[in-house]
């Protein structure tokens, strides 16, 4: 499990997620459409944490989801633009000037581009975190991208050897996931190494606890009665010559006070 740069990458994911929600609202103000806003927000809610939604899906599947949820809005803005009178949502909220098709398309493609980047970073961060030890960090910056230069000796800055990059995305990275997506990890073996999570469930109300306890007592009593009846039936089947009350039966041909012990030898007299 790779933990290096994990916190910084999570911060980037949260920042992009918040920025995309703001851009979706801006697109709604420029061209009001509840259907478009709802579709984009739903798609972002799923693709911002793809492996948490379905860990068996690859990144190519989530790219297709983003395209399907955005192609309708892009097509509508490219063909129709903004319908007359729809730039103002209320009498004091909306756009004072009708936006052009170029502005709408630029915002649409910006949202789609940032959504793809967000989905890629979120997928790779979760994929790397669940990877077994010794696997390669695909988001790690290359050696040529690291800030390892030495400052000029006459400058006032002290010497630093700091890695300023926490991830690196290239076009080859996207092409690799589109052509040959990596297989999903088998998380069954890693579950045993996880620490136990604390109990975060809220306490049950007193009335509900009383109902559950009463139900448990009734079930326990029913099981005890069933076991007692089963034992009584077993004893009755083992001793068919005795009465059902469990007392020993009197012997035939003997005096009234004599008793016969089961399994004993009869007296010849």
Distance in angstroms (rounded) separating the CA atoms of residues 181 and 117: 16
Confidence at 88, pLDDT banded by 50, 70, 90: low
Residues 116 and 63: beta-carbon distance below 8 Å: yes
Q: Is residue 229 over pLDDT 50?
A: yes
For residue 237, the model assigns a pLDDT of: 76
Buried b (16+ CB within 10 A) or exposed e, 214-241: eeeeeeeeeeeeeeeeeeeeeeeeeeee
269: enclosing H helix or E strand: none
Q: If DSSP codes are grouped into helix, strand and coil, which group holds residue 94?
A: strand
Residue 139 burial (10 A CB sphere; 0-12, 13-18, 19+): buried
* CA gap 17, 122 in Å, rounded: 10
The pLDDT value recorded for residue 269 is 54
Q: Is the pLDDT of residue 127 over 60?
A: yes
Mean residue pLDDT of the chain comes to 74
State the Cα–Cα distance between residues 214 and 208, nearest whole angstrom.
Answer: 10
Q: What does the pLDDT average to over 77-106?
A: 75
């Amino acid at each position: 499990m790779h933990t290096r740069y994990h916190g910084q990458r999570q911060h980037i994911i949260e920042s992009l997620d918040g920025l995309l929600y703001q851009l979706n609202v801006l697109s709604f103000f420029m061209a009001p459409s509840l259907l478009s806003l709802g579709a984009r927000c739903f798609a972002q809610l799923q693709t911002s944490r793809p492996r948490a939604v379905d860990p068996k899906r690859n990144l190519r599947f989530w790219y297709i989801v983003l395209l399907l949820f955005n192609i309708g809005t892009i097509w509508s803005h490219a063909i129709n633009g903004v319908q007359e009178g729809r730039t103002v949502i209320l009498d004091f909220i909306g756009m004072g000037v009708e936006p052009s098709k170029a502005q709408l398309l630029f915002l649409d493609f910006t949202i789609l581009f940032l959504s793809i980047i967000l989905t890629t970073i979120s997928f790779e961060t979760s994929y790397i975190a669940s990877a077994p030890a010794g696997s390669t960090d695909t988001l790690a910056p290359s050696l040529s991208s690291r800030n390892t230069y030495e400052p000029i000796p006459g400058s006032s800055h002290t010497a630093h050897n700091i890695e300023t990059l926490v991830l690196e995305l290239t076009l080859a990275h996207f092409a690799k996931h589109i052509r040959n997506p990596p297989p999903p990890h088998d998380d069954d073996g890693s579950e045993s190494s996880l620490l136990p999570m604390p109990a975060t469930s809220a306490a049950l109300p007193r009335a509900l606890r009383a109902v559950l306890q009463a139900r448990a007592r009734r079930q326990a009593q029913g099981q005890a009665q069933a076991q007692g009846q089963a034992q009584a039936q077993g004893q009755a089947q083992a001793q068919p010559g005795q009465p059902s009350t469990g007392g020993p039966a009197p012997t035939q041909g003997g005096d009234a006070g004599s008793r016969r012990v089961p399994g004993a030898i009869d007296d010849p007299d």
